[in-house]
Amino acid sequence: MEKVICTYCGKDAVSIEEHEIELSEPYGGSSTVKIKEKVCSHCGFVEDDGSNDLVIQKELSMLKRISMVNVLDELNSMGHTTASMERALGLPARTIARWKNERSMSPSASAIALMRIIRTFPWLLAVADRRFDDVAAREILLQHAANELVKIRAEHPEYTVTSSAQKSENHLELFIKVSKESIPETVSSGNYVFGSLR
Amino acid sequence: MPKPQPEYDIKDFIRACKGNGGRSSIVALEGGVRRTADRDFNLKTRENILSFIATGGLENLEFVNSIQYRLSNEIPPPLCDAYHFKSGFSIGYISFFYSESNKKWVIKSFHRDDACGPTAFEIAFRNAELLTESLEGSE
């Protein structure tokens, strides 16, 4: 058996210690794995063990699979069918179905990244459906931004949302202001402060 | 006393990361480096970290300092070079040393440089040639 030596001091006083770490993937939840560290009792140097990569990659691959299935389930539950997503994104038929259902097949990292972006901003499917047309993309973005502002307003009635856009020949001004309504005491004490400054 | 110049040629370090390729590694990670690399840069394995470095992931490298890394009084302490780097929207900090006795590079730190708030501005100012003095290191 190969003697394990410390990378710092070169002594063979190295022992392997195991401890758990948490791994997580967006939309895939988290899980724990045991990793190894080489600890030198002579100098105290702690080194990550080379075998950890395999353990981590194996677990991550499982979490990525779960993440893909969750993302697709959620998109389906929002009303986006697999066939319509494949069509909008220009993917060969049954590609997404295979990502979801074939346990033997691991979706590529780029496929997972694409579907996470779509899950985060599902309206991008509408942009893709319009062949990424600049004007349509802007309209869809603004429409969804407006929807989000309405939602924020509904969720936080104590805030006032004001927005405006003005355009002249050489000037475009867009502002979105979210402000909390002041309670009368604050206003009067504010007036007092300003009064003292005069 | 920190040295004002790097102890190592960073290209040698980057080349070592490139040559890793799953074989017996000549670049090791100190305990805790993988955790901070995952937390701050979404680099979850040693292979991810070394590939990132090897493919030019450390952008706008700025030397911070070169200081002695002492764990034991018996061993002559190696010099540890530290750099700031930029990646996407983040400013990072990396420090590493070369272990002569084992012929291995060791990455000692790899994390986002939260302690160094103004760095993004400092880098921008320096790039604009409006700031020339060297940055003090952080760990």
- Taking only the tens of pLDDT, chain B with its 139 residues reads 666 799 999 999 999 998 755 455 799 999 999 999 999 999 999 999 999 999 999 999 999 999 998 777 777 889 999 999 999 989 999 999 998 888 899 999 999 987 554 555 555 555 565 555 544 444 4
Residue range(s) defining the domain that contains residue B112: 10-127
Query: Is residue B36 included in any domain, yes or no?
Result: yes
Please tell me the distance from the alpha carbon of residue B1 to that of residue A31, in angstroms, as a whole number.
44
Query: Is residue B106 included in any domain, yes or no?
Result: yes
Chain A residues inside the 8 Å CB shell of B74: 9, 43
pLDDT, residue A166, reads: 75
Please tell me the distance from the alpha carbon of residue B56 to that of residue B14, in angstroms, as a whole number.
8
Identify the residue among A2, A17, A20, A48 best suited for mutation to test binding to B, counting B beta carbons within 10 A and taking the highest: A48
Please tell me the distance from the alpha carbon of residue A68 to that of residue A115, in angstroms, as a whole number.
7
Tens of pLDDT, residue by residue over A122-131, are 999 999 999 9
Query: Is residue B34 included in any domain, yes or no?
Result: yes
User: In Å, how far are A5, A11, A192, B36, B110 from A44, measured between CA atoms?
Assistant: 13, 11, 62, 20, 20
B31/A7 CB distance under 8 A: no
Of A168, A170, A164, A167, the residue nearest A149 (C-alpha): A164
Domain positions in chain A? 133-198
Query: Is residue B38 included in any domain, yes or no?
Result: yes
User: Domains in chain B: how many in total?
Assistant: 1
Mean pLDDT of A137-163: 85
**Choice between B23 and A141, residue whose per-residue pLDDT is larger:** A141
ipTM of the modeled complex:
0.74
Query: Is residue B133 included in any domain, yes or no?
Result: no
Does the predicted model carry a pTM greater than 0.90?
no
Please tell me the distance from the alpha carbon of residue A150 to that of residue A192, in angstroms, as a whole number.
35
Q: B113: domain CATH number?
A: 3.30.2310
Q: Are A14 and A39 in contact (CB under 8 A)?
A: yes
Handedness of CA A59, A65, A69, A75 (dihedral sign): positive
Residue of chain B whose Cα is closest to the Cα of A58: B45
